[in-house]
Amino acid sequence: MSGKTKTATKTAKTEMITITIDGKEITVPRGTTILEAARQNNVHIPTLCHHEDLTPFGGCRLCIVEVEGQRVPVSSCTFPVTAPVNVESTSDRIRRSRRHTVELLLSEHCGDCYSCLRNGNCELQTLAQECGVRDYPFGHPTEKTCSLDLSGTSLVRDMDKCIQCGRCIRTCEELQGIGRFKFSGRGYNKTVSTYLDRGLAEVACINCGQCITRCPTGALTERDDTPEIWAAIEDPEKHVVIQTAPSPRVAIGEEFGLEAGNAMTWQLNTALRRCGFDKVFDTNFSADLTIIEEGTELITRLYKALVEKDATVALPQFTSCCPGWVKFMEHEHPDMLPHLSTAKSPQQMFGSVIKTWYADLNGIKPENIVSVSLMPCTAKKFECSRPEMTDSGHKDVDYSVTTREIARMIKQAGMNLPELAPSEFDDPFGTATGSGIIFGATGGVMEAALRSVIEFVTGLKVEDLYEHADIIPVRGFEGCRYAEIKIPETVGPVPELIQHLVPNWDWLKGQTVKVGIAHGIDNARKIIKDIAAGGKFSECHFIEIMACPGGCLSGGGMPIPTTQEIREARAKAIYEEDKQYGETGRARKSHENPAIAKIYKEFLTEGPCGHKSHDLLHVEYTQRGKFMTDATTGGEDVKNGKDKTK
């Protein structure tokens, strides 16, 4: 449902109006559109340009209906109910009009459905079948007229498949506030273009992929890396490992016909081994590692600011595990880059560890390791290609693939994921915690960090302060959230792991830790503006920001479609898996992960934020006033993009 419609509904929801749609009486709040009324009551009205996350557009004309008293059919997505009306959505006139509209769309839609990544999940394809289109009375192009935009590291754009529904434009403008797409031209020459008609690599796109998950056809897709991964698997000289993030695991079942909210974590392990991956690891291990590094960095910043009175310390500290958010900061707020945590994302931390510690443990040459990550995100493809991400001496993560890509690989191997037997992750990176799991939901990184920081400082179990260790104040789908965490007057001893960073906790007695959370770049802008204006978020110590609405569980690489209902189902599955960790005796806090203790004992021996961990697990983005676009990745403009402080 769009923001505008929600407002109209909310302000007048006490006034109910009864309308009739196809003979069925329906009572809805005044201001509800006919399309919304129909969907709420299981009356099917087709559409292509409408998406419940976006404002109504009325451009495709497929949702037209006949309203008694109206001379011509109206678009149901933009027609608000203000009085009792009689609506007909299935008349012969409407049926013929819809079929002709689809035929006209197909007359300009070029592409071989069989080779399209959206084959079987294309809204235009579905509507053509639904409307009974059997031929092309207005013609059908058989040769491509537009070249593919392959300039970016993450997204591919095929304008021959664009139907000008405007969803990508509204997604980029309304949800993200980025505005990299626009309509250009008029009439027959009207088209969707990018800023200055440049390739995606050159328009400061943040690669979030939200346009992909709302595109009804294959006009926007992820860059497909599966052929290269199959080639690596088939190469006997290569040791191919994969790490899987929590969000794809609770959503990949949707690619196999399951309802949203069914976790396939353990079946996925089996599928990946049968695909040929030599080892299957849990990204939650490096999520726990990220919490330790990022949490101790926050403690260090607070100590310098509060005790040493260092005015140069950048607070609040922003999370840095979302590459779309980081890229946005580089594009539009380079002056605030010091606020970003220097901790790498879990994906990149894992990549560094795989080609150093893991390679040494197993006697494998790093150049023979092909490191793959399964992520919910298209921006991760850009992130792993950044020139900074080579601290192992090699490209730390060779390929980052989306949930959709891995689902295709599993299907290509002839498997039906839900039917597979479950299996565990491989050691030494198969041990993780519930804190790593909740990274996938907005507020999850914050909650995971607080679980550990609270125990570090107070010496208490977080369960003593929050029931079942669930820090509810930082959960939810509100766009911008603020919470305060009170530190008791009695604090505990500094854990041995971080004694090299602070001498005691006396300086935190009775302090209030203020935190913020935002998801979606448009909401991130609101927080940045609030900080600039000296608002409440300027008083925060730590702020989590994710580029995608709902967090990673709605990333640009996740199954299509996405709706608020689907996002909520995925979030429920994530928190349920975290809960199951507690019920089955598995750790739910990052510092309790035995694999984390092992890596600091055997490899990162100087502890969190030590020299070796800083070399491998941290990065400082110092691009002042420069656009870190896909086009500049690896070029002279970013050659010195990493500034390590020894």
Task: Tell which residue, 428, 435, 407, 439, has the closest CA to residue 546.
Answer: 439
Task: Say which of 36, 123, 293, 383 is annotated catalytic.
Answer: 383
Task: Say which of 63, 131, 548, 552 is annotated catalytic.
Answer: 552
Q: Is 130 a catalytic residue?
A: no
Q: Is 103 a catalytic residue?
A: no
Q: Is 174 a catalytic residue?
A: no
Tally the C-alpha atoms within 13 A of residue 293's C-alpha that lie toward its C-beta.
32
Q: Is 297 a catalytic residue?
A: yes
Residues 6+ apart with CB under 8 A from 510: 486, 487, 488, 489
Task: Say which of 154, 286, 341, 435 is annotated catalytic.
Answer: 341
Q: Is 294 a catalytic residue?
A: yes
Cα separation of 49 and 164, whole Å? 8
Task: Say which of 255, 388, 447, 455 is annotated catalytic.
Answer: 388
Cα separation of 590 and 441, whole Å? 16
CB atoms within 10 A of CB 124: 25
Cα separation of 366 and 360, whole Å? 9
Residue 556, phi then psi, degrees to nearest 5: -70, -10
Tokens 């606020």 sit on residue: 339
Q: Which long-range contacts (CB under 8 A, 24 or more apart) does 631-639 make?
A: 631/151, 631/199, 631/201, 631/202, 633/153, 633/382, 633/385, 633/386, 633/387, 634/385, 634/387, 638/386, 638/387, 639/387
CA angle 505, 506, 510 (to 5 degrees): 100
Tokens 């990333």 sit on residue: 555
Q: Is 388 a catalytic residue?
A: yes
Task: Say which of 255, 294, 455, 544 is annotated catalytic.
Answer: 294
Residue 282, phi then psi, degrees to nearest 5: -105, 115
Task: Tell which residue, 81, 110, 341, has the closest CA to residue 219.
Answer: 110
Q: Is 540 a catalytic residue?
A: no
Q: Is 552 a catalytic residue?
A: yes
Task: Say which of 279, 355, 380, 589 is annotated catalytic.
Answer: 380
Task: Say which of 321, 377, 384, 548 is annotated catalytic.
Answer: 321
Our CA dihedral for 552, 553, 557, 563, rounded to 10 degrees, sits at -130
Cα separation of 58 and 360, whole Å? 59
Task: Say which of 297, 330, 447, 455 is annotated catalytic.
Answer: 297
Residues designated catalytic: 294, 297, 321, 341, 380, 383, 388, 552
